[in-house]
């Protein structure tokens, strides 16, 4: 032990001498030289530490010998060392020294804490558990006495109370303020839970009250006791958001102040925002400065700002991002800052300059590409999301695109999302390495739920889902199961689902490989069993559906699908016509389908522009031989003239047409029907088409169309009114004889607590129908309404 201490002291002494020498060298070195990007030759703890070894200190840091020096990483190292609570406040700092060989030494100056915490107490606490308090403060018996860390614990407790709505809570650090203390003692006055009884805006003319409310983190309590907890910290954030909102509308000189009015019993407060909007600014002119590599004319194609139009801060921010993207796609990392010049002799006018920083001329190329942090997920699962390769010009926007794609995979910790970074290459300054940093998370899900809609009745749902499945990663030990390594890591998905229901039951297992053999082809395979009750008969269907698809470009996708099914038609009414009764019993079916899809929608949930085209042809073999052809097109239209000034509240016109044709010998379970949601509203599900003896027998030709107009009812865009006209027909051959028309209205409701899928409620009234059609005035649905 003595020898070990002697060695550590000797090393510390040598380090101190080295630090003095390094400092002298640093004074000689040119002020223009920088350590950034140079290879680190050594990382040396300078100050002597009694409690922790140099190895422990270096183990906390990410700056390593042999790696390029990165100031961001170095600053993170200081933060990590401070977070250990081993050192006095302000007792961690780094110093670098350039060496004659071109490398850099990093010296870590440390001042260690010496006292220890003998006891931690919390006085006056009733609504937080001791475990929660220990988690908030991070202070434990036996820790080094760290007054700064103790005070951070006090702030964390206070923040927890404020977030819980106890706005008048106080927390004092009674003991533990000095390094010589032995106890850490907190004294707490919790106070009541304070709720927001109301939020007012005064002085707003251009800013609509409903839209201003959507900017606020502060919410009003419902019925006086549900939600709406008051957190003073939210007020400053609210003022900032409101100011940004007004800047977006062109009110650059807006002034906003807040007032909090407590109730006499301090159980509630009323928040008032006093707004002075002042002048709305117009753009008198704009230019681009600081650009060297590209001309202003070249960069102008990335901007949409217009002289003489209202200033729009959202638009100018987007322009700055587009200019950065223009540079970035050509291998240049720059920052673009929007600079506003108010014109003194022209009130209400602003000159906008897009200032380019960091345009150094030479494009950057990709050096090494590496992945850090994945212990279960294979490297190729991550790397195939990047679309960057060593040697190519580094297109910086692709790094952000890759980060978003990695986050959407759902296999990494959402609290610590993936990072895709460009860092200096150790050999060539014209190259930058791409490093992907990930932190994995649990990817298995077990879900129990239910749903209801007018087409399928009431359904339960039990789902087991694994989104990072590996079909061939068999367990080699019990630890593989316990540590979650078995059948995980290839980025595949496995979903096992049971949906029993009153009218419809579905049981399936689906496997999906999005990148088959690391190519652009995707594969999915589903085995399933359905049972369904229809008015005419009941149906069992068991089968396997195998699909191979390939994305041709960002909007086009091609697919080929094979389905092998056994279909059982049963419980047929005694008076059913031969076109139904002849298909009673089990039948074999083999379907081969080729499909092509084009999708340019701006949103899958609430599209406002774009279109969807879906083309498909299937040849069915087996007990019956017949073709099925499908063509469907949906178009979404909106206008900037039918929306709010801030771009929200768009009116959307949707147009949809679908044509289907099948062979004349198609069995009853493969014929075409219409009626219900996303078909012909005003009629029951499968309530439209040829019929005999009051039973629908299905057709071989269908032509369905919808015109729907959607208008927002609330300024938070969570409730919409729709009016629609559905029209079309289903016939026994390619002809139009009984053309149906229905009109109606409905509502679309977005309920965040129920997930992203909106609710639809529609009332429809047939205007033209056939005598055999079954009517249904009301329909409802949960799901996607914007196309196929």
CA 454 to CA 686: how far, in whole Å?
12
Predicted confidence at residue 111, as pLDDT, reads 79
Q: Tell me the DSSP string of 710-722.
A: EEE-STTS-EEEE
Vertex 511 angle, CA 508 and 514, to 5°: 140
CATH topology for 195-276? Answer: Ubiquitin-like (UB roll) (3.10.20)
CATH architecture of residue range(s) 119-189: Roll (3.10)
Beta-strand ranges (E) seen in 500-537 are 504-513, 521-533
CA 74 to CA 347: how far, in whole Å?
47
Q: Tell me the DSSP string of 606-661.
A: S--SEEEEEEEEEEEEESS-EEEEEEEEEEEEE-TTSS-TTS-S--EEEEEEEEEE
| Phi/psi at 781 (5° precision) | -160, 155
- CATH of region 282-357: 3.10.20.310
Residues 676-719 pLDDT 10s: 988 999 999 999 999 999 999 999 999 999 999 999 999 989 89
- The reply to whether 119-189 and 282-357 are identical in fold is yes
CATH topology for 445-462+492-782? Answer: Porin (2.40.160)
Name the strands in the sheet holding 268-276, side by side, starting at the edge strand that comes first in the sequence: 195-202, 268-276, 255-262
Pairing type for strands 431-437 and 365-372 reads parallel
- CATH of region 372-437: 3.10.20.310
Contact predicate 200/271, CB 8 Å: yes
User: What does the block give as tokens for 293?
Assistant: 């590599």
Q: Both ends of the chain: CA-CA distance in Å?
A: 73
Largest CA distance in the chain: 104
Predicted confidence at residue 754, as pLDDT, reads 57
Vertex 158 angle, CA 153 and 164, to 5°: 130
Predicted confidence at residue 2, as pLDDT, reads 44
Q: Number of C-alpha atoms within 13 angstroms, CB side, residue 43? A: 23
CATH topology for 2-112? Answer: Ubiquitin-like (UB roll) (3.10.20)
pLDDT lower than 50: segments of the chain: 1-32, 784-788
Predicted confidence at residue 22, as pLDDT, reads 45
In the chain, what are the domain boundaries?
Answer: 2-112, 119-189, 195-276, 282-357, 372-437, 445-462+492-782
The H or E element spanning position 161 is: helix 147-163
Q: How far is CA 70 from the centre of its chain?
A: 29
The predicted model scores a pTM of 0.76
Q: How far is CA 378 from the centre of its chain?
A: 23
Q: Tell me the DSSP string of 56-124.
A: HHHHH----TTSBP-HHHHHHHHHHHHHTT-EEEEEEEEEEEE-TTS-EEEEEEEEE---B--EEEEES
């Amino acid at each position: 032990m003595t020898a070990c201490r002697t060695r550590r002291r000797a090393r510390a002494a040598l380090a101190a001498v080295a630090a003095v020498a390094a400092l002298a060298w640093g004074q000689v070195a040119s002020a223009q030289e920088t350590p950034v990007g140079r290879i680190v030759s050594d990382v040396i703890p300078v100050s002597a530490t009694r409690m922790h070894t140099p190895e422990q200190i270096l183990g906390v840091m990410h700056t390593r010998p042999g790696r390029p020096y990165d100031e961001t990483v170095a600053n993170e190292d200081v933060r990590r060392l401070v977070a250990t609570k081993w050192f006095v406040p302000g007792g961690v700092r780094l110093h670098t020294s350039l060496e004659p060989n071109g490398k850099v030494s990093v010296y870590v100056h440390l001042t260690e804490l010496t006292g220890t915490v003998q006891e931690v107490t919390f006085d006056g606490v009733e609504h937080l558990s001791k475990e929660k308090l220990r988690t908030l403060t991070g202070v434990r018996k036996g820790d080094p006495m760290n007054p700064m860390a103790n005070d951070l614990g006090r702030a964390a407790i206070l923040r927890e109370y404020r977030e819980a709505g106890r706005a008048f809570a106080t927390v004092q650090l009674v003991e533990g303020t000095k390094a010589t203390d032995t106890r850490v003692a907190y004294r707490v006055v919790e106070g009541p839970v304070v709720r927001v009884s109301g939020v007012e805006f005064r002085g707003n003319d251009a800013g609509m009250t409903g839209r201003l409310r959507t900017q606020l983190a502060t919410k009003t309590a419902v019925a006086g006791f549900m939600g709406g907890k008051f957190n003073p910290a939210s007020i400053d954030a609210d003022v900032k958001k409101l100011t940004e909102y007004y800047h977006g509308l062109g009110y650059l000189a807006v002034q906003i102040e807040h007032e909090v009015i407590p109730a006499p019993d301090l159980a509630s407060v009323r928040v008032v925002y006093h707004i002075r909007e002042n002048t709305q600014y117009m753009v008198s002119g704009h230019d681009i400065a600081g650009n060297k590599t590209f001309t202003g004319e070249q960069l102008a194609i990335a901007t949409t700002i217009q002289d003489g139009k209202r200033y729009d801060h959202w638009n100018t921010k987007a322009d700055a991002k587009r200019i950065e993207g223009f540079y970035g796609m050509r291998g240049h990392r720059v920052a673009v800052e929007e600079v506003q010049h108010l014109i003194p002799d022209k009130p209400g006018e602003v000159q906008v300059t897009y200032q380019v920083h960091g345009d150094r001329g030479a494009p950057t190329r990709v050096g090494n590409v590496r992945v850090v942090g994945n212990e279960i997920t294979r490297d190729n699962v991550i790397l195939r999301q990047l679309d960057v390769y060593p040697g190519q010009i580094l297109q910086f926007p692709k790094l952000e695109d890759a980060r978003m794609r990695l986050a959407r995979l759902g296999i990494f910790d959402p609290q610590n999302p993936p990072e895709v970074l460009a860092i200096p290459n150790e050999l060539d300054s014209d190259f930058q390495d791409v490093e992907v940093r990930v932190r994995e998370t649990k990817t298995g899900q077990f879900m129990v739920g239910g749903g209801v809609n007018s087409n399928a009745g009431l359904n339960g749902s039990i789902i087991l889902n694994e989104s990072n499945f590996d079909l061939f990663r068999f367990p080699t030990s019990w630890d593989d199961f316990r540590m979650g390594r078995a059948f995980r890591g290839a980025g595949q998905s496995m979903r096992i689902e049971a949906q029993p229901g009153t009218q419809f039951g579905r049981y399936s297992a689906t496997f999906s490989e999005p990148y088959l053999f690391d190519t652009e082809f995707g594969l999915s395979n589903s085995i399933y069993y359905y049972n369904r009750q229809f008015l005419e008969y009941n149906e069992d269907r068991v089968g396997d559906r195998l699909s191979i698809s390939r994305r041709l470009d960002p909007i086009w996708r091609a697919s080929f699908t094979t389905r092998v099914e056994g279909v059982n038609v049963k419980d047929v009414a005694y008076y059913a016509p031969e076109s139904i009764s002849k298909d009673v019993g089990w039948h074999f079916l083999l379907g081969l389908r080729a499909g092509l899809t084009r999708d340019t929608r701006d949103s899958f949930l609430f599209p406002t522009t774009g279109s969807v085209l879906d083309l498909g042809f299937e040849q069915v073999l087996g007990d019956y031989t017949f073709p099925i052809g499908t063509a469907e097109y949906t178009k979404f239209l909106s206008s900037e003239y039918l929306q709010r000034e801030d771009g929200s509240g768009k009116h959307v016109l949707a147009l949809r047409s679908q044509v289907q044709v099948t062979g004349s010998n198609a069995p009853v379970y493969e014929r075409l029907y219409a009626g219900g949601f996303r078909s012909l509203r005003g009629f029951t599900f499968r309530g439209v088409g040829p019929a005999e003896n009051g039973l629908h027998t299905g057709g071989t030709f269908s032509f369905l169309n919808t015109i729907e107009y959607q208008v927002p009812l609330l300024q938070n865009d969570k409730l919409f009114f729709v009016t629609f006209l559905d029209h079309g027909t289903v016939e026994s051959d390619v002809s139009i004889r009984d053309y149906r028309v229905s009109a109606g209205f409905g509502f679309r409701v977005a309920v965040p607590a129920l997930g992203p899928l909106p609710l639809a409620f529609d009332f429809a009234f047939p205007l033209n129908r056939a005598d055999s059609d079954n009517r249904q005035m009301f329909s409802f649905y949960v799901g996607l309404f914007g196309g196929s």
